[in-house]
Amino acid sequence: MDKDTNKQIRYWGWGQTNHEYDRDKTYRFLKTLTEHFGLSALPEKLQHAKLEAFKVPKSLLPQNFITKWKSKGLSLDSYERLLHAAGKSYRDVVRVRNNQIPRFPDGVLFLEQSDHIKDLYTDAIQHGITIIPFGGGSGVVGGTECIGPNEKPVLVVDLTLLRRLLSIDSKAMTAQFEAGIYGPKLEQALNAKGYTLGHFPQSFEFSTLGGWIATRSAGQNSTLYGKIEDMVQSLTIHTPQGILETNHVPASATGPSLKQLLIGSEGIYGMITEATVKISPLPQTQNFVTMFFKSYEQGIDCIREIMQAGLKPSIVRLSDPDETNLYLQLMLTSALKKTIVPYWFKWKKLGKNPCFALIATEGNRPFTNFQREKIRALVRQNRGVFVEKSFDQKWKKDRFELPYLRDDLLDHGFFIDTLETAAPWSCLMNIYESMKFAFLKHKKDNLLIACHLSHAYKDGASLYFTFIGRQRKGHEIEQWEKIKNIASDIIIEHGGTISHHHGIGYDHKKWLSKEESPLGIDILKAVKKELDPENILNPGKVF
């Protein structure tokens, strides 16, 4: 149960229990995969572990701690302990489905007031309790994994009850929130006053402001509104050594940026309890341009030119040929796919591997119109072919829905994982081609690798990869690790960052130490020692 929305949450997958992805599209997509992997029929539906099957062990929390904190939001409920045992990565979900959770938290504290944190830290140190801060729990890099010294009880601190809008400064266009607020509630509160934050990650419905900040999140509209680190004017963090509130100013030259040291701190330095964010007027209008390019490289060049011309689209998204194909399979009926579409591609001279792109602009009308016109001109210059067939509506409808489809794939034994990076424009095609090439050798998995470009900057962009295959029964995690290792090594070797917006958590630790110099890691450790000398917060995460 989500304490905030009172809606039942899938412990075995994404989102709400009483919601599912569009059935027709699911059917079409599964059919496509069935054909791709040469299966005679759709594999039969697997059963995930039932609630009763989980053996949630007796809590290791000491009795006097339990007695004291029961009245302040502590729950020892097995269901809550299961729900807070993992995030929502492929690895997380597979382990839950297969009843392979390595460790359950010994309790979940639904923190009611940030005032309680100081006392909580004191008790945690006294009793040797490990603390895992928890926002929406939608992370996909093992950030909420219950690791830590085996002998120590693990307490997950759920921050979603800290969810108030504290103030809006309409002159400075900033809003101060408690950080546990979920995306929809935050937007509702702002929309009611005519504003938006403009931060819409795919996890939007199930992630929190504090979670976004702790992981350096990016939303789908980040190309206009910025990543979360650009949106935060200031934040408050409760560390075991005290509270730190950064200065509430638009910019400063007051030495190193403490704010940027705490954004992305993933619960290792403290719990983010409040943040003041820069807000924008609700856009008067939003305009989508959808198009096809003959090749991925042509599309990438076009988006680069748009960014380097000083234009400010809100969303850019360019699918490679494989993703485009999958997307068409998902979106179009069989009749369309077989008849009109191939002819249209031929007629438009888009070749055999057309790439679908979507570019949105939003804001006040003159700004949006100017952007759209200039963007359309650059698309034409780069020989993009516009398509007006309501692809934008399709995309909008699906923007937060696709993770539900993953559950359907898992139900039928398909492997599906995603990972992402960012790199300078000059490195993107190299990363992309190296990734495709590397997996050619792994014929056993015969993976479908789809990729899209999103989150563009003047100096580079993010690439987002989706890997789809057949699960190796009984070796699911091993299979995942192997694929993850190959893909992550390629990213680092070719000049990408190990994450543009998912974070480090537990899963990316190994590559963080390849991306940053050992001295960089030493700095992060020195700060950890200063703020959390007893190492009670998220031990073993990030570095």
> In the range 455-484, which residues lie near a copy of itself by CB under 8 A?
455, 457-462
Segment interacting with a copy of itself, rule: CB under 8 A, options 39-47, 216-224, 330-338, 395-403: 216-224
CA angle 10, 417, 492 (to 5 degrees): 135
Closest contact distance (angstroms) between CB of 489 and a copy of itself is 16
> In the range 260-289, which residues lie near a copy of itself by CB under 8 A?
260-266, 269, 278, 280-281
Task: Determine how β-strand 315-319 pairs with β-strand 280-281.
Answer: unpaired
* Cβ(161)–Cβ(112) below 8 Å: yes
Among 88, 294, 317, 501, binds a copy of itself (CB under 8 A): 501
Q: Is 27 a catalytic residue?
A: no
Q: For residue 540, is it left (φ>0), alpha (ψ between -120 and 50) or beta? A: left
Interface with a copy of itself, residue 223, by CB under 8 A = no
Closest contact distance (angstroms) between CB of 134 and a copy of itself is 18
* Cβ(453)–Cβ(317) below 8 Å: yes
Closest contact distance (angstroms) between CB of 409 and a copy of itself is 25
Distance CA 476, CA 453 (A): 28
Among 174, 287, 329, 382, binds a copy of itself (CB under 8 A): 174
The count of chain residues that interact with a copy of itself, using the rule CB under 8 A, is 95
Distance CA 259, CA 245 (A): 9
Closest contact distance (angstroms) between CB of 333 and a copy of itself is 38
Using alpha carbons, select from 532, 533, 516 the residue that is nearest to residue 267: 532
3-state secondary structure of 525: helix
Among 19, 70, 118, 248, binds a copy of itself (CB under 8 A): 248
Closest contact distance (angstroms) between CB of 226 and a copy of itself is 9
Active-site option among 182, 404, 464, 506: 464
Using alpha carbons, select from 224, 236, 284 the residue that is nearest to residue 262: 236
3-state secondary structure of 498: coil
Interface with a copy of itself, residue 48, by CB under 8 A = no
**Across 240-363, where does the E strand assignment appear?**
242-245, 271-278, 280-281, 285-293, 315-319, 355-363
What x-and-dash track marks residues 115-154 binding a copy of itself by CB under 8 A?
----------------------------------------
Interface with a copy of itself, residue 245, by CB under 8 A = yes
DSSP-assigned states of every residue in 429-481:
HHHHHHHHHHHHT-TTT--EEEEEEEEE-SSEEEEEEEEEEE--TT-HHHHHH
> In the range 71-100, which residues lie near a copy of itself by CB under 8 A?
none
Among 391, 425, 464, 480, binds a copy of itself (CB under 8 A): 425
Closest contact distance (angstroms) between CB of 259 and a copy of itself is 8
Closest contact distance (angstroms) between CB of 255 and a copy of itself is 5
Pick the closer one to a copy of itself by CB: 341 or 527.
527
Report H helices in 314-401: 321-331, 334-338, 340-347, 365-381, 391-398
Strand partners, 285: 363
Contacts of 233 (CB under 8 A, 6+ apart): 174, 248, 249, 250, 276, 277, 278
Interface with a copy of itself, residue 250, by CB under 8 A = yes
Among 412, 508, 532, 538, binds a copy of itself (CB under 8 A): 508
Interface with a copy of itself, residue 207, by CB under 8 A = no
Among 310, 352, 441, 443, binds a copy of itself (CB under 8 A): 310
Using alpha carbons, select from 93, 97, 120, 113 the residue that is nearest to residue 50: 97
Interface with a copy of itself, residue 166, by CB under 8 A = no
Distance CA 34, CA 132 (A): 40
Interface with a copy of itself, residue 172, by CB under 8 A = yes
Interface with a copy of itself, residue 225, by CB under 8 A = no
- Catalogue the active-site residues: 464
